[in-house]
Amino acid sequence: MEAIKINVMKKLNFAGFTIVMCVAVSCRSSATSTLEVNLFEQTLSQTPKPQLIDVRTPQEYGEGHLPGAILMNVRDAGFDSLIRTLDKTRPVFVYCRTGKRSLEAATVLEKHQFKAVYNLEGGIVAWKNKGKTVISD
């Protein structure tokens, strides 16, 4: 009877270990990290040669954007062509108004095998709410 209990425990431990490893691997497989405003700003400032992309519309971009941001509207039919101009080996920082379109853009960047993509949680709305710098053209 004791041998059966030990065998069952071994199987349960192995099953638990397998589940934990699957979760760990699936978390690691994503190239995208969604960062809150302060961490996004800190990571951006500490990254050599970051690629900062505003994925909103031209009108939204003109109303105010992060310093150094390049406009690449995720809903534009040419978005795939635009992102091909980026360096896949350098981190890409993306944002939109509230974080939904930038997460969509991050998914596209992952499909194109970009190594590191950082999404601004809450978008430019959260950025402004924290009193961070926004510039207008």
Catalytic residues: 96
Q: How far apart are CA 118 and CA 55, in angstroms?
A: 13
Q: What is the largest CA-CA distance in the chain?
A: 77
- Partners of 60 in beta bridges: none
First-to-final CA distance of the chain: 77
User: For 29-136, where are the alpha helices, taking DSSP H only?
Assistant: 37-46, 58-63, 79-83, 100-111, 123-129
